[in-house]
Structure 1
Amino acid sequence: MKLIINRNQLPLMPNRFYQVIEKELAEVDPKVANAITLNFRDPDYSAEDGGFHPVEIRLEKQQEHWRLVYVTDFAYRGHPYPELVKDIDICFNSKQVYNLFSGWTGERESRSLINLFTHNFATYFDMGVYKVKVSLN
């Protein structure tokens, strides 16, 4: 049985983003969980050498379909002891987008950031840089 993801949530996400998620969840039985967390990791990403930022996506079951809760892009920041922090956070509960350098963004800035982020994310996915872990809760 295929997972049905509500694509009408705000902020709106491009179709290519949903295609990546659906590809990773193609083998998941939607009846065995109430929540799903997807972790996309570049095993070579480090504070010293850089690489592709880790991305975490959370979905929750809502009646017959699934809804996005958040999409978070993490990055190492800080010196001399870098920590992994939220670089971009798309929150579907509050319908807002956060960026580390500018804070909560307006609708127009959010749209530009979401389009850039999802284009890059899907491109990196297609390049095979991510190891993906799917956790069912």
Structure 2
Amino acid sequence: MNTVASCYDNEVTLLPSLVEGLSAALDSAPIPINVDKLSMNFRHTPYYQTRRGTHPVEVRLERHDKQWRVVFMASFAYSDETHRSVAPELYFNFKRGWFYQPDIKGCELARPEVMDVLLSWSRMFCRQLRDEHFDDVRFTEVKT
């Protein structure tokens, strides 16, 4: 069984429902025991044609002592109607302790207003996982 234990920053607590959802997604994929870094990509493929609906999400994990820790979570979107590719719209980096959003650029993750955004976004992402909004979920080993 693959279990998400926590995020990389022990001062940030992830919602239990998010930990459960990520753990369930991990359990659905055959992940070799020797993989220590993993990228989980969640996509709602119609979004790429219509630019409407559930935005793509990437979750990066690292294994420590047989349990996975979340390194970062990022949501992507088209910047405007003319862009051909998606770009980060929210990026929570737990390993480095920073947050990115295009209109404010980067700032410290530990700021109360960022923690509010993380909580709100996490609740939405949990609903999307629970309601099976993503029709393309991929797991990719990250090689360094």
Whole-Å separation in 2 of the counterparts to 1:87 and 1:135: 22
Partner of 1:92: 94
Equivalent AA in structure 2 for residue 44 of structure 1: P
Aligned to 1:135, the other structure's residue is in SS state strand
Partner of 1:45: 47
1:14 has 2:31 as partner: no
- For 1:134, which of 120, 129, 139 is the aligned residue? 139
Whole-Å separation in 1 of the counterparts to 2:34 and 2:66: 13
Distance 1:114 1:30, change over 3 A: farther
Equivalent AA in structure 2 for residue 26 of structure 1: D
TM-score of the two chains, using structure 2 as the length reference: 0.81
Q: 1:14, CA displacement in angstroms?
A: 1.3
Equivalent AA in structure 2 for residue 126 of structure 1: R
Aligned positions, number = 137
Deviations along 1:61-120, one digit per CA (max 9) or x if unpaired, are 234432211101001113533431100001012112222222234511111101111111
Partner of 1:33: 35
Partner of 1:81: 83
Contact 1:10 1:92 in 2 (8 A): no
Aligned sequence identity (%): 19
Structure 1 spans left out of the alignment, 5+ residues: none
Q: 1:136, CA displacement in angstroms?
A: 3.1
CA RMSD of aligned residues (A): 2.3
TM-score of the two chains, using structure 1 as the length reference: 0.84
- After TM superposition, the runs of 4+ consecutive aligned structure 1 residues lying more than 3 A away are 1-4, 27-30
